[in-house]
Amino acid sequence: MILESEENKKEVRDEAMIVPETAEQSDAVELGNTAEITGSFVPPEITDSLEHVVEALLFASDEPLNASKLKDILGVHLDGREFRRIVNDINRKLQSERRPFEVSEVAGGFQYRTIRAYQKYIKALFKDRAMRRLSGQALETLAIIAYKQPVSKAEIEGIRNVSTDSALKTLLEKRLILILGKSEEKPGKPIVYGTTKDFLKYFGLSKISDLPKLEEMEEIAKGHEKSELIHDFKRDTEKTRTLSDKEAVSESAPTFEETPEATVPVEETAPVQENDISLPVETDEEEPRSGEPIA
């Protein structure tokens, strides 16, 4: 029979009194009290895995995510340059691992998107999902607003030579356009329209100045999951440009008088997703052409 010494018994008692560290405590010991990122103090439990936190938020968000939104979520300041650096690091990792998706800049923020080379497989997955397209009249109206904004209803109808009431109503309901206010520069101070962030997201643009020139539209349409829609947009935009060549374009930006009462209330709808587009067809306009289902 082996007898334990008093020293051995003391060691056993000391070990039993040790409390294992939690994950948070372990991280805190390793990281220290604070860590500085681009002049801003970030909690130590976030700093070491900030890229992972941002990646998780990008993956979970159904809207483009920007630095301001991150500040609201994390409670710390993260400037745009640091956010872009993190996004670039994420994309480099995705590329090195040959992942089928990337983080793209869309509508003033960043969002996960499938790489274009895989779109044909995604389309096959959702082959039974029919794309309900905008009518030709609504699409033509949207093209005019996109390239001539801010533009009034009278100016749109002057180009199209037909009423735009129904088309404007549909575009407003789908949040592809919005009322900017009343123009101080135009006679009678008419209400003027412009495009929205949903418009940018739908066409995969970061800002309105990224809207392609007409000669670039054809290239974008090649291999694009919305190629038929882009072809139509290009066609209607060319028509818009041709009809409006005689109009003088003012060099100075017009000023607006805010008109909250002019906005059209709409029901809350799910945000427009690149792989889940469903647009209404106006019942009082021409029958829409059926398009390819998209993912």
HSE of 267, CA atoms in CB hemisphere, 13 A: 3
Q: Are strands 35-37 and 151-152 parallel, antiparallel or unpaired?
A: unpaired
Rounded Cα–Cα distance for residues 62 and 83 (Å): 18
- Tell me if 110 is assigned to some domain: yes
pLDDT tens track for 203-253: 777 778 777 765 555 454 444 444 455 555 556 555 555 554 444 334 344
Whose tokens are 């520069």? That residue is 185
* Same domain, residue pair 173 and 205: yes
Q: Could you tell me the pLDDT band of residue 264, with boundaries at 50, 70 and 90? A: very low
- Tell me if 283 is assigned to some domain: no
Rounded Cα–Cα distance for residues 100 and 113 (Å): 9
* Same domain, residue pair 102 and 206: no
DSSP 31-95: H-S-EEETTEEE-HHHHTTHHHHHHHHHHH-SS-B-HHHHHHHHSS---HHHHHHHHHHHHHHHH
* Same domain, residue pair 163 and 249: yes
* Same domain, residue pair 38 and 150: no
Confidence (pLDDT) at 80: 76
* Same domain, residue pair 100 and 150: no
pLDDT tens track for 164-216: 888 999 899 888 999 998 888 888 889 999 999 888 877 777 778 777 765 55
Among 128, 172, 188, smallest CA distance to 180 is for: 172
- Tell me if 274 is assigned to some domain: no
Domain that holds residue 64: 33-114
- Tell me if 129 is assigned to some domain: no
Confidence (pLDDT) at 37: 40
Q: Could you tell me the pLDDT band of residue 265, with boundaries at 50, 70 and 90? A: very low
Using DSSP, state whether 149 is helix, strand or coil.
coil
CATH number at residue 184: 1.10.10.10
- Tell me if 292 is assigned to some domain: no
* Same domain, residue pair 97 and 206: no
Rounded Cα–Cα distance for residues 257 and 32 (Å): 53
Q: What is the number of other CB atoms lying within 10 angstroms of the CB of residue 162?
A: 12
Q: Which residues of 107-135 are buried (b: 16+ CB within 10 A; e: fewer)?
A: bebbbbebeeeebeebbeeeeeeebebbb
| Gap between the terminal Cα atoms of the chain | 75
Using DSSP, state whether 11 is helix, strand or coil.
helix
- Tell me if 240 is assigned to some domain: yes
* Same domain, residue pair 172 and 243: yes
- Tell me if 177 is assigned to some domain: yes
* Same domain, residue pair 140 and 106: no
Whose tokens are 């948070």? That residue is 24
Q: Could you tell me the pLDDT band of residue 50, with boundaries at 50, 70 and 90? A: confident
- Tell me if 4 is assigned to some domain: no
How many domains does the structure of the chain reveal?
A: 2
